Structure 1
Amino acid sequence: MKKSFIAIAAALVALAPLASQAHDGVDHAASAPAAKAADGHAHSHGDSDAIGVAGKAAKVTRTVNVDMTDNMRFTPSSLDVKQGETVRFVVKNSGGVKHEFVLGTQAELKEHYELMKKFPEMEHSDPNQVTVAPGKTGEVIWQFTKAGKVDFACLQPGHYDAGMKGAVTVAAAKGSTKPTAAKSDGHADHKH
């Protein structure tokens, strides 16, 4: 009898962590973000439609060379494009540490940066970003479908806080009456 009680108590102790993951009918582990970090942790990115869509190489209208350096700057740090334009970003890391080029809204970039601080070895495979080793070059092909501002940044821990960020200004296409991309404060500009 004593052995049975000990076995049941041990089983309950073993199951306690599982019970804490799901309660009120909600499995919090299942609703957690979902992209995989190198250490097995997961996260996801916001709705990239707010900033455009992955571009097709055959539709590239121009190529922009972007240099990333260890002084935590992009060159150029700002760019003007037209709504509908597809840009190939050729991103070179001239520094001695890993850098990233990530397109997003300011809110998405800040949220992603907080995750990167927790999981610095996170790997990415999203079309709006590239991680580049020292001395290497990567590329992002992006179509800017909405007028407004699209931010970009390096989200390696410490880099964003050091000012490694920039912006793409997307000019509305002639005759466009569609709402523009979300501003960094989360509100959209509308043409009247």
Structure 2
Amino acid sequence: MKHQKAVHHKPVQRKRIRIVSAAMVVVAFGHPASVAFAHTGTQHDQHKANASVSAEEHAFGRQGDPKNAVRTITIDMADTMRFGPAEITVREGETVRFVVANKGKMMHEMVIGTMAELKAHGELMKKHPGMEHDEPYMAHVGPGRKAELVWHFTKAGEFHYACLVPGHFEAGMIGKIKVTK
């Protein structure tokens, strides 16, 4: 009778460790650990549309209630690695509905944050390029598609929006948000 070799699951364990490590890094940079890999589609979009408004406060504001949006700003994304417009001004306390339109042929995203948060998150995305998120300050938009995000700007200051798909941020796909008193 032949002896069977023990099957070791080290590759699976390493993958789990990497996923858990990535989630811990996300938490360390102030992002909740609601990380999902390759989590897109109409069911996901419908869930996001029906989700309740989060009261979680960030340095750059909090999720806005769509019923309280005072204006709509369209943000175009292009394969030239640019946003249009590249700069917007809003007032402190204003709730804005962003319609994020991908005019290109590759995946793009709009992530709102401080420059330090965006840089740190961009580095994490380089290590885990398939990682996607389901945060209210992010919109992942496929080629030729649109998405919406509603944000309540609770603090005056200078914030940014960027595409953190690996290589896009580095190529200059960054916009500026000036929040005035």
Indicate the TM-score class for this superposition, using the shorter chain for normalisation: 0.7 to 0.9
Any gaps of 5 or more consecutive residues in structure 1?
Answer: 1-9, 22-27, 41-46, 173-192
TM-score w.r.t. the length of structure 1 is 0.69
Residue 155 in structure 1 maps to residue 154 in structure 2: no
- Cα deviation, 1:140-179, whole Å, max 9, x if unaligned, reads 100000001111100000000000001110001xxxxxxx
Match of 2:63 in 1: 54
Distance 1:54 1:39, change over 3 A: closer
Q: Which runs of 4+ in 1 moved over 4 A?
A: none
Between the aligned partners of 2:180 and 2:38, the Cα distance in structure 1 is 40
Q: Superposition RMSD on alpha carbons, in Å?
A: 2.4
The letter of the residue matching 2:152 is Q
Any gaps of 5 or more consecutive residues in structure 2?
Answer: 1-5, 26-32, 40-55
Between the aligned partners of 1:125 and 1:154, the Cα distance in structure 2 is 15
1:31-180 aligned within 5 A: 32-33=24-25, 34-38=33-37, 49-172=58-181
Is contact 1:37-1:119 (8 Å) kept?
no
How many residues in Structure 1 have an aligned counterpart in Structure 2?
Answer: 143
Deviation at 1:48, TM superposition (A): 5.4
Between the aligned partners of 1:99 and 1:48, the Cα distance in structure 2 is 25
Bigger relative CO (Cα 8 Å, ≥ 6 apart): 2
TM-score w.r.t. the length of structure 2 is 0.73
Is contact 1:66-1:89 (8 Å) kept?
yes
Deviation at 1:128, TM superposition (A): 0.3
> Kindly, what percent of the aligned residue pairs are identical?
47
| Local SS of the residue matching 1:161 | coil
Is contact 1:100-1:131 (8 Å) kept?
yes
